[in-house]
Structure 1
């Protein structure tokens, strides 16, 4: 009786939100009993490695737009689980999606992404290379296409890379551009611009240890991570560049345990990833990280990001599941597993089921969640997240910073992806190649 009364209140609240265009019965259907759906899914697919379960705490009877959208999302996901029981990977359709996206003229609506050229090619090329069957299949035309696109965004004066031709050099655009050139193995161009890039990176350094995104731009954990990745891959990390960085990062851990963009703000999945990955670039010893941050709180906050019904991850407290966090949060778990000596801190099967049954499009590519459109961004980070699910990560015994000591071993019977590097977001093989090149040429 109490549950029925609560549902009526929810329906009444949502009726006000959506107006009179929807019938009362349509709104009421949005609150189909989750318990029944979950039971039906378990009975229909008893051998699946993941089954949605009710949250470990009782649902709050308080009605708000947040709780309503969460209820609606859970029902959409459960319906999807009921319709698609098998965990399959549509490799041929994804190949077609990447090929069409790289070589076809983009629709006019993409003009809003004119400052994201380097990101677009990184997302597409990286996603393609992560698919296991595509290893070694990168043709010369694609390499030339990507290299030319990134070169057009290069600012010759300072070595920075902009989001588009004749635009301002930007740390995030330079980060994605450098990753793109690493993926095509254009080490010659990277060698030519690295000295200028170092001076430009130093110009972004702030007195508190952080880095701004661009001249007169904002400083946060994203920009700081981007600078560290660029400098690290090009073997440019110096005491001058890294001085004070870790002290500033320490200030960004919140009372919840995650990291915010700047001190004294809310913890967020993307910022947390950038901060934790930065510690692995800066340190050669695990204890240096354990002494700097509250790892127990960080573990709890990250574990709380996995949704018990959906299996996927969200980016912060009281937010919806989103496939992109399969990497932004998912990639933090291998780092935490290494720091804590714990083999598995999250449900890899649950995340895999969300990605392949809910986020994967039947026509190729990946989306945020059912009902959303496929896009380059979610496709890349879904594949990165899928890779995290398919491997376990350990440190090898080489004498290097933690970021370059990552080894991956297959987890489970089937791997559809190459092992992604959790700190750099590209295949481990590509990280090893660029590290070897710049270490031998610039000892």
Structure 2
């Protein structure tokens, strides 16, 4: 199994940014803001965020801000969306530079995406999904602007997406999925509404996601995937049921997904690595208190010292 190769993963993340003209970079261009968040947060968890030029990153980020709407795009010249807006806020939180934002304009953009039933659209085109409820609630909370939305209705909508198995779907009646469960549990945690969750029922559904190889899947009958090390674990921690899975077997699964030569983590052993799974693998290990990693907050998906700085003024 070996250990987590801190330095190789730092080198991999830095190398990804330098390959802007590669096929992988071009097909992921629309997600570049998310990729920046995944990479930078991983570097911070590895105690290595200082390897990047923060001012250069902030300058690029602000070129992705849409001054008309107040939201952020995934890359320069694209349309704004909640997905990229939260990633931008999280990156600036990492850098302790939320001061560069027009918080009134940005928060108004997020507030304007709440619908009458309490749900949120991802952007001006109107798609509704509980992912967007989490994005909006997390974003506004980090900006200390959560009181600008109708929190009661937002919570009611999320609860309306709860299923008989204890899980949550993307809309009322939607299939329970670990990614959606994280979004709903995370939003309920941030708003102080976890009493709506049946912890034992949901905890059982989530711990059943552990496969024979130790990894976690997103729903029944699927293969294990490193990214669910985050979605499932963080949810279990928020509902205080993380002791229901075998952490040592999950740790072994994640470590076996490392590229020992070039760094990076893949979805499962021997597959190609990417920045997405590298982040979720390292974040999952952080949740399990892997030695040498910064601890990460399960609701805000940011290092705990960053969250403490925002809410308590201390690192």
TM-score normalised by length of structure 2: 0.94
Q: 2:105 aligns with which of 196, 207, 224?
A: 196
Q: Is the 8 A contact 2:236 2:242 kept in 1?
A: no
Pairing 1:295–2:193 present:
no
Q: Is the 8 A contact 2:19 2:25 kept in 1?
A: no
CA drift at 1:199: 1.4
SS at match of 1:138: helix
Partner of 1:354: 253
CA drift at 1:201: 1.3
CA drift at 1:108: 3.2
Partner of 1:51: none
User: For each residue in 1:215-237, what CA deviation from the matched residue of structure 2 results, as whole angstroms up to 9, or x when unmatched?
Assistant: 02311110010000110000001
CA drift at 1:330: 1.2
User: For each residue in 1:192-222, what CA deviation from the matched residue of structure 2 results, as whole angstroms up to 9, or x when unmatched?
Assistant: x110112111210111111000002311110
Paired residues for 1:350-429 under 5 Å: 350-357=249-256, 359-362=257-260, 363-390=262-289, 415-429=291-305
| Compared CA separation, residues 99 and 150, structure 1 to 2 (3 A) | same
User: For each residue in 1:376-419, what CA deviation from the matched residue of structure 2 results, as whole angstroms up to 9, or x when unmatched?
Assistant: 000001110011112xxxxxxxxxxxxxxxxxxxxxxx613110
- State which structure, 1 or 2, has the greater radius of gyration over its C-alpha atoms: 1
CA distance in 2, matches of 1:149, 1:184: 14
Pairing 1:102–2:17 present:
yes
Q: Is the 8 A contact 1:258 1:267 kept in 2?
A: yes
Would you identify which runs of 4 or more consecutive aligned residues in structure 1 move more than 6 Å? none
Pairing 1:435–2:311 present:
yes
CA distance in 2, matches of 1:240, 1:343: 31
CA distance in 2, matches of 1:113, 1:121: 11
What's the RMSD between the two structures over aligned residues? 1.8
Partner of 1:169: 80
Q: Is the 8 A contact 1:323 1:382 kept in 2?
A: yes
Q: Is the 8 A contact 1:333 1:346 kept in 2?
A: no
Partner of 1:205: 114
CA drift at 1:110: 2.4
Paired residues for 1:21-420 under 5 Å: 86-132=1-47, 134=48, 138-139=50-51, 142-190=53-101, 193-238=102-147, 240-283=149-192, 288-290=193-195, 292-307=196-211, 309-337=212-240, 344-357=243-256, 359-362=257-260, 363-390=262-289, 415-420=291-296
| Structure 1, unaligned runs of 5 or more | 1-85, 391-413
Q: Is the 8 A contact 1:228 1:281 kept in 2?
A: yes
Q: Compare 93-102 and 221-230 and name the one that shifted more.
A: 93-102
| Structure 2, unaligned runs of 5 or more | none
| Residues paired across the two proteins, number | 313
CA drift at 1:302: 0.4
SS at match of 1:93: helix
CA distance in 2, matches of 1:127, 1:200: 28
CA drift at 1:369: 0.6
User: For each residue in 1:148-174, what CA deviation from the matched residue of structure 2 results, as whole angstroms up to 9, or x when unmatched?
Assistant: 221111011232101121222100110
TM-score normalised by length of structure 1: 0.68
CA distance in 1, matches of 2:242, 2:131: 28
SS at match of 2:44: helix
